[in-house]
Chain A
Amino acid sequence: MTLNLNPLIVLLIFPGGLFLIMAGLAYEYLDRKLVARFQNRIGPRWFQPLADLLKLLSKEEITPLGVQRGLFYLLPLFALASALTAALYVPMAGLLPAYAFQGDLIVTIYLLSVLTLSMGLAGACTVDRFALVGATRTLTQLFSYEAPFMLALLGPAIAAQTWQIRSINEYASQNLWLLIAQPIGFLVALVGLMGKLELPPFDAPEAETEIVAGALTEYSGRGLALFRLSKDIELVIGLTLVAAFYLGGIHSPLDFLVKTVGLLLVVALLQTLFARLRIDQVVGLWWRIGTILAVIQLIAIVLGRYVGNLIF
């Protein structure tokens, strides 16, 4: 499906801006509700994320002593802006991406990392010890999951022989689901997404039982609201990306809904199943197992293509 929209509408209402914010809140609600049901609880009401967001926006914003003021106020905006921009290159809601060019996969991956980077910097620019420890852990985790996550997204790109998300989406829909063709890549991508969003069991950077609230400890009001919102948006974009690559592409709004919600169900189940890993265990898991698995997958794809070319 294609839609010709005014660039301003694309940026502010659909698929950027307003639609993305609403989708982010809806997916956060779904995630929390699913986790609650898995834990045998009733869970939050449907408007809970919206109420949280509005409450945080209307609260006082404290500037702690010793922070770099400009950076402290700019970083949440930076994180939200990059998350919103990344949505322009993915097939949001089953429509074709608003913009596409050769190599937009790399740009999207970088835009998705900016949130984590902003959170690390936000923790590091305060003088609070918990925020500093949280920032260290956030950045350590960034360096550990980023490589396998990227390798896992490269698999479909190499199979489709293009760096364009739109073409990979088309390739995925015309062929066998890549979940079956590249199961290891799917696993690494899904777990990498959970590491990116700092969901349990990879929530060591914001472990509230040890380091208060991690890098965002000193944030109150607007800053915290914007960081939470950008994380929600990243959840939607990440799910869309993995579904488009590994679950046979996304073509219609119904397709989008079924595939991303199905993926969210798995993510929520994994969240409830596992306990939090220590930061050294996270790094070990990613570099010793995740990366090697992703590299094996990559070699298999390259060899498969080579052999395929020899035969046909």
Chain B
Amino acid sequence: MSDKDKGVGFLDKIRTWARVNSPWALHYNSGSCNGCDIEILATLTPRYDVERFGIKLQGSPRHADVLICTGPVTMQSRDRLRRIYEQMPEPKFVVVVGSCGISGGVFQGCYNVLGGIEKVIPVDMYIPGCPPKPEAIIFGIVQLLEALKTGRKPEAVAVIPEPQFENKA
């Protein structure tokens, strides 16, 4: 490793550090039932306070780093979703919240529904649930940031709830 490479490595480290610590989010609903959107709004309230991680909701796609998508992609919102994704500056990441955005969910096979978000734009992270809890959304985004830190793709994490009642048959 030459000196020049070392310098570039250092700059890259700073860049990654800044990126991991300041993810600004943009929220887009491409045909969801609003359940997931309400959970996302709940995540942004003082109770969960995502500003602790530097997460801020932005209005403009030009300011955002992370696109949070909910719902299946309908025929009508397909072009809008793609346009919003293209308006975001690089590097950009897409997080899908909810079952519908992953596979189309209960809307799968409808005449006006294309399916999951990944049919239209590349997706980095999936958060399953119908709808996922605010804790699950925060967990998912922190997983994405951890993956950014190491430079790998986020891996699937299984979260199995503890059995709460013993079955006394």
Choose from B15, B18, B52 the contact partner of A42 (Cβ within 8 Å): B52
How would residues 82 to 117 of chain A score, 1 for a CB under 8 Å from any chain B CB and 0 otherwise? Answer: 000000000000000000000000000000000000
> B19 contacts A58, CB within 8 Å?
yes
Asked whether B90 is an interface residue with its Cβ less than 8 Å from the other chain, the reply is yes
Chain B residue nearest to A62 (CB atoms) is B89
A204 to chain B, nearest CB (A): 14
What residues of chain A lie closer than 8 Å to B59, measured between beta carbons?
Answer: 208-209, 212-213, 217
> C-beta contact mask, B38-61 vs A, less than 8 Å → 1, else 0?
000000001001011010001110
Could you give 26 example pairs across A and B, Cβ below 8 Å?
A32-B51, A39-B46, A40-B46, A41-B49, A41-B51, A43-B51, A44-B54, A45-B21, A48-B22, A48-B51, A50-B18, A54-B14, A54-B17, A54-B18, A54-B22, A55-B18, A55-B21, A58-B18, A59-B89, A60-B91, A213-B58, A213-B60, A213-B62, A217-B60, A218-B60, A224-B62
Using C-beta atoms within 8 Å of the partner chain, give the interface range for chain A. 20 to 34
Q: How far is the CA of A168 from the CA of B131 in the complex (A)?
A: 61
Contacts of A44 in B (CB 8 A): 51-52, 54
Asked whether B51 lies within 8 Å of A55 as measured between CB atoms, the reply is no
What residues of chain B have their CB less than 8 Å away from a CB belonging to chain A?
A: 14-15, 17-19, 21-22, 46, 49, 51-52, 54, 58-60, 62-63, 65, 87, 89-91
One of B46, B87, B90 near A41 (C-beta < 8 A): B46
The answer to whether B90 and A43 touch across the interface, beta carbons within 8 angstroms, is no
Q: Enumerate chain A residues within 8 angstroms of B17, measured Cβ to Cβ.
A: 51, 54
Complex contacts, A36 vs chain B, CB 8 Å: 49, 51
Which A positions have Cβ atoms within 8 angstroms of B?
32, 36, 39-45, 47-48, 50-55, 58-62, 130, 208-209, 212-213, 216-221, 224
Nearest chain B CB to A20's CB is how many angstroms away?
A: 21
A221 touching B89 by the CB < 8 A rule?
Answer: yes
Complexed CA–CA distance, A288 and B14 (Å) = 50
Q: Contact check: which of A39, A48, A212, A224 meets B54 at CB < 8 Å?
A: A48
* B-side contacts of A54, CB under 8 Å: 14-15, 17-18, 22
Contact assessment for B52 and A220 in the assembled complex, using a CB-CB cutoff below 8 Å: no
User: Within the assembled complex, what's the spacing in Å between the Cα atoms of A312 and B58?
Assistant: 61
Cα A213 to Cα B87 in complex, Å, equals 14
Closest 9 CB pairs of A and B: A54-B18, A51-B21, A208-B59, A60-B89, A55-B18, A220-B62, A212-B59, A60-B90, A41-B49
Report the Cα distance A43→B48, complex, angstroms.
Answer: 11
Minimum CB distance partner of A40 in chain B: B46
